[in-house]
Amino acid sequence: MSNDEVGTSVALSETEADERLLDRLAGFSAEQTGLAVAGFAGFLAVWYVAALFQPTYLLPSPVEVLAAFVVELTAPASLSIPFTGAELPATRLLVKLIQSLYHYVPGLLIGTSLGVFAGVAMGWNTRVDSVFTPVTRLLRPIPPLAWIGFAVIWLGVNHQGATFIVAIGSFWINFYSAYGGVEGVSEDLKEVAATLGVDDDWTMIRKVVIPAASPSIMTGIRTSIGQCWMIVVAAELIVGVGVGYEILNTAQNLAMDVSVAYMLVISIVFLVSDGLFRRVERRVLEWRA
Amino acid sequence: MSDDANADTGAAANTAATATSPDDTAKVSVDSLGKTYASDRRTVEALSDVEFAVEDGEFVCIVGPSGCGKTTLFRIIAGLEDATSGAVTLDGSPVTGPGTDRGMVFQEYGLFPWRTVAENVAFGLEEQGVEEPARSERVTEMLELVGLDGFADAYPKELSGGMKQRVGIARALAVDPELLLMDEPFGAVDAQTRDMLHGELLDIWTETDKTVLFVTHDVEEAVTLADRVVVMAANPGRVREIVSVDIDRPRERTESEFAAYVERIRGLIGE
């Protein structure tokens, strides 16, 4: 028996992976990190200098933005908990951020679940596909924000309205990634499963189709996690609460430093949520070559 | 190709099959099997009146040139495709779809990349409702059989081609099929590994007493492994001759007897 062949192959792949990681980290720390720091410092410098010659209401300087950020982050405010009437002490920035999360999290969860469900159903069953393809083609090009009128008259100028818009946005992203992923599942794997005793659709979907399509589904979820922060800001401009509204509201009062501080909040939460999901993705798709 | 004439032959073969009863003693019996692919403009006869039987515990190889329909034949026996005429019976009952009585090993391994080696081997057992700890015990037993104990938790991406195919064999055997069906299983591994896998497969065959039906285009591989070789011809795919290989195992390719068989089969194929 060929344990030599076996042993070397695995040992090699492990060392290779380690070396590649080390190379990357080393390369990163040496040149790339330097360039990245230089690029960012350059950006701040240009911004700073440009802001010297402008009043704050035209272009706030990075220092003013940072100061505004700290003020918003620390200024006390009370957070009302929906459906309970309770009030919790918090800060202005936290209140706005949590309001946005009320739109973002449920919208993302609803849109993602429905999108993945619809994508898998249509990708799996050609008859379902034929029935719904014309409708999806018709509805797909409509930007989520175009539904804002319906969101307002159906659900009101409130959290549910913004949630609805976010859900539509994440629905389409996840629908197409799941659909494509399921369509791309190899016939071979389905045949292997059939010869190993899988004889109903549900087992095939659960044990073969969804795992095989999971890289594509995960990409869809990650894309929508990012895109939905863009959508939530836009939706909040209309429904009048949250970080998105604060960006507009402060700008309308010419408090541009505060407005940019809230833009910064969006960047930070995007980077954090994307980073966290990447870690989840790496763990879930550990098996991938 | 004259389509009308072929269609007539197919119909005649069909009648013949119903008239003569299939070989009841055989493990696998392929009776007057025909397969015609019809499109709007033309029909192609992939298999015509294919007939042979495989005895219990026998190792049979199917060889033939490309286009002789051996993969079609494999897929019909596996239940992945329907025959146009004739029938395949396993232990006397007709094959109507895929099932765990036939363990399949594919050229491209067909491993589930998201499952570890052990989880791949366990797949069919899960479907059969085998509970723990019996399932894990069976998996361990199978991995020992193919020499992959110690790799239970590896993912397929970490394995070489030869190791992947060992997992494929272990997975197919785990559900204890009546027949092991292999479609060019070693076609994608290098020659050295292939030789090694031949030895291992024969060991496994001896140890498990399985009936093996092995499709290949490699005549030397067929002579190395088989009790009998079903030699096929193309256009339409049909059985040219069935050759019994009467050489003691292990067989050496350098022996003159071995070379004589290879030459004879190559002659039949027309290589």
Report pLDDT digits (tens) over B165-192.
999 999 999 999 999 999 999 988 888 8
Residue A202 pLDDT greater than 90, yes or no: yes
Between CA A125 and CA A132 the distance in angstroms is: 11
Note the helical H segments in A205-255: 210-239, 242-252
Q: Is B178 on the interface with A (CB under 8 A)?
A: no
Range(s) of the domain holding residue B256: 1-8+26-101+177-271
pLDDT-derived band of residue B4, with 50, 70 and 90 as boundaries?
very low
- Out of A189, A195, A288, the one facing B98 most closely (by C-beta) is A195
- The reply to whether B152 and B189 lie within a common domain is no
Q: Is B34 on the interface with A (CB under 8 A)?
A: no
Neighbours of B177 (CB within 10 A): 22
Q: Of the residues B176, B207, B225, which one is the last residue of a structural domain?
A: B176
Q: For residue A61, what are the contacts with CB-CB under 8 A and spacing of at least 6?
A: A47, A48, A51, A52
Q: Is residue B15 part of a domain?
A: no
What is the DSSP pairing of strand A87-91 with strand B238-244?
A: unpaired
Q: Of the residues B155, B176, B197, which one is the last residue of a structural domain?
A: B176
Q: Which helix (H) or strand (E) covers residue A279, if one does?
A: helix A256-284
pLDDT-derived band of residue B38, with 50, 70 and 90 as boundaries?
confident
**pLDDT value, residue A48:** 94
- The reply to whether B156 and B264 lie within a common domain is no
- The reply to whether B51 and B74 lie within a common domain is yes
- The reply to whether B245 and B186 lie within a common domain is yes
- The reply to whether B261 and B211 lie within a common domain is yes
- The reply to whether B119 and B245 lie within a common domain is no
Choose among A68, A110, A76, A106: nearest CA to A92.
A76
Residue A7 pLDDT greater than 80, yes or no: no
Query: If you average pLDDT over every residue of chain A, what do you get?
Result: 87
Mean pLDDT calculated for residue range B15-43: 72
Between CA B271 and CA B268 the distance in angstroms is: 8
Q: Are A214 and A281 in contact, with CB atoms under 8 Å apart?
A: no
**pLDDT value, residue A33:** 86
- The reply to whether B128 and B261 lie within a common domain is no
Q: Which of residues 194-213 of A touch B (CB under 8 A)?
A: 194-199, 203, 207-208, 211-212
**Nearest-CA residue of chain B relative to A186?**
B110
Number of domains in chain B: 2
Chain A partners within 8 Å of B97 (Cβ): 194, 199
pLDDT, tens only, A38-76:
999 999 999 999 999 888 889 999 999 999 999 999 888
Q: Is B119 on the interface with A (CB under 8 A)?
A: no
- The reply to whether B143 and B96 lie within a common domain is no
pLDDT, tens only, A74-98:
888 888 777 777 788 888 899 999 9
Q: For chains A and B, count residue pairs whose Cβ atoms are closer than 8 Å.
A: 87
Q: Is residue B19 part of a domain?
A: no
Choose among B89, B92, B65, B74: nearest CA to B35.
B74
- Out of A5, A191, A287, the one facing B162 most closely (by C-beta) is A5
Neighbours of A26 (CB within 10 A): 10
- The reply to whether B190 and B93 lie within a common domain is yes
CA separation (Å) from A226 to A170, A210, A233, B60, B214? 10, 23, 12, 57, 51
Q: Which residue has the tokens 């339409």?
A: B236
- The reply to whether B130 and B34 lie within a common domain is no
- pTM, two decimals, is 0.81
Residue A28 pLDDT greater than 70, yes or no: no
Residue A112 pLDDT greater than 80, yes or no: yes
User: Cis before residue B133, ω within 30 degrees of 0?
Assistant: yes
pLDDT-derived band of residue B68, with 50, 70 and 90 as boundaries?
confident
Q: Of the residues B151, B176, B201, which one is the last residue of a structural domain?
A: B176
Chain A partners within 8 Å of B119 (Cβ): none
- The reply to whether B217 and B147 lie within a common domain is no
Q: Is residue B108 part of a domain?
A: no
Q: Is residue B107 part of a domain?
A: no
Rounded to two decimals, the ipTM of the complex is 0.82
pLDDT-derived band of residue A19, with 50, 70 and 90 as boundaries?
low
Contact B163 A198 (CB under 8 A): no
Q: Which residue has the tokens 């100061």?
A: A67
Between CA B114 and CA A63 the distance in angstroms is: 49
Q: Is residue B16 part of a domain?
A: no
DSSP label at B21?
P
**pLDDT value, residue A170:** 95
φ, ψ of residue A138 to 5 degrees: the values are -70, -40
- The reply to whether B94 and B205 lie within a common domain is yes
Nearest-Å Rg of the Cα atoms of chain B is 19
